[in-house]
Each structure stands twice: as structure tokens, then as C-alpha cells.
Amino acid sequence: LSIPWAEVEWWIGVVHYLACLSPTVCSVFYHLFMNHEGGAPIYDTLLCFDMFGVCLVNTLGALPIIHITLLCYPSSRRVAMLAYLLLSGYGVHCAVSAQSNVHRLQSFAWQAIFRFVLFMLRLTGAGRGSPASLRLYLTMDTLALLGGLVNISRLPERFSPGGFDYWFNSHQIMHIMVVLSIVYLHWGTLEDLTWLKGYHCPGE
């Protein structure tokens, strides 16, 4: 737990670790019980729980990014956080009610676009944050997107049915890329928090 708790606002550390842990916990729970014999209703509930973990990392993981990017614009920061939370609520609804993997992936599109706007603000100098964190965040979203695309495309098993039932199938590749994405989120947040300790907005 390498976040400098005593030097940053407490909620940043809390939401960050909830974001990092929630998809792992929810996914493990889903995979642990997915071989039940309770029928479609139980499976759908487990799948919704799994998707809820993904929604949490997309939602909570971005809040420190918004906070730091708009650090010197308090009013805009509050509006952006509220807008992102509302957008995330809509994304949660779409994700847990989606009828296919393609629609589930599409549920996160607006959140990704919102984060991309934040990254562009940083790139142009209008936003704040550690110069080193931007590359980490872009890698984070790239890995998450590629993981989702691999999962819905069913590569490589679509070219060799039965050949990847146990190892190296698209679902496993997706999980590896998502875990790496979370690692990059953590690294990016640590870079931002280290930068935040020594930064003061103009006029302060």
C-alpha cells in the first residue's frame, strides 16, 4: 500500500484501492461459482456481479484522475466528477443489462471518451498532473480496450476450435490484459500523488 496516505486527501486512496480490487474480487467470485446448477437466473446474477466490478474500476479509478487533472479549477472539477458519475451510472445499467459481449464493451465507450478528453487537457497543458502519468494512463486504457476486443473477437480459438479450451484462449488473454491495465492505473495514480505533494496551483 504505497499511497502516501498522510499527505493526500483520504478519499483518493480509498476509491483508488476499491477501484483496483473490485474487478478482481467480483471476477473471482463469478468464476468460482459459474459452474452452478441453478440455471440461467443464477448465472445472470453472477455475471452482473462480475460486470459490476468492471464498472467500479471504470468509475472509481477515474475520480482521482479527474480531481488532479482539474485541480486548479474547483468548479469545473465538481461538475466533471458529477457528470462522470452520472455517465458511469448509465454505463452500469447498460453493462449489466447487455445481451452480448459486444454491447457490454460498448457500455464503457462514453467513460473512455470522457477520460480521453481529460488526457487531452493534460497533453495540451490545460490540465494538471504528473508528466509521467499520462503515458501510464494511456497504456491503461489501451490495454483495457485491446482486452475487450480480444474477448469479443474470440481470438485465437475461433481459428482452432477446441485447441485453446484450457490455455491461451481469448478470455484468459482478456483477463491478463485487464490485470495489466489495473497495474498501469495504480502506477499512474502513484505518479500523480507524488507530483501532487509538491504542486501548488497558480495564485495559491
Q: What is the pLDDT of residues 49-64, one digit of tens each?
A: 888 899 899 999 999 9
Q: What is the pLDDT of residues 154-189, one digit of tens each?
A: 889 988 888 888 888 999 999 999 999 999 999 999
Read off the pLDDT of each residue in 79-86 and give the average, rounded to a whole number. Answer: 97
Q: Tell me the whole-structure pTM to 2 decimals.
A: 0.91
> Reduced to 3 states, what is the DSSP secondary structure of residue 103?
helix
**Residue 73, φ and ψ in degrees, nearest 5:** -130, 75
> Reduced to 3 states, what is the DSSP secondary structure of residue 70?
coil
At 96 the pLDDT is 80
116 in Cβ contact with 86 (< 8 Å): no
DSSP 34: T
The angle formed by the CA atoms of residues 89, 138 and 126, to the nearest 5 degrees, is 85
Distance CA 77, CA 159 (A): 47
Confidence category of residue 204, pLDDT binned at 50, 70, 90 = low
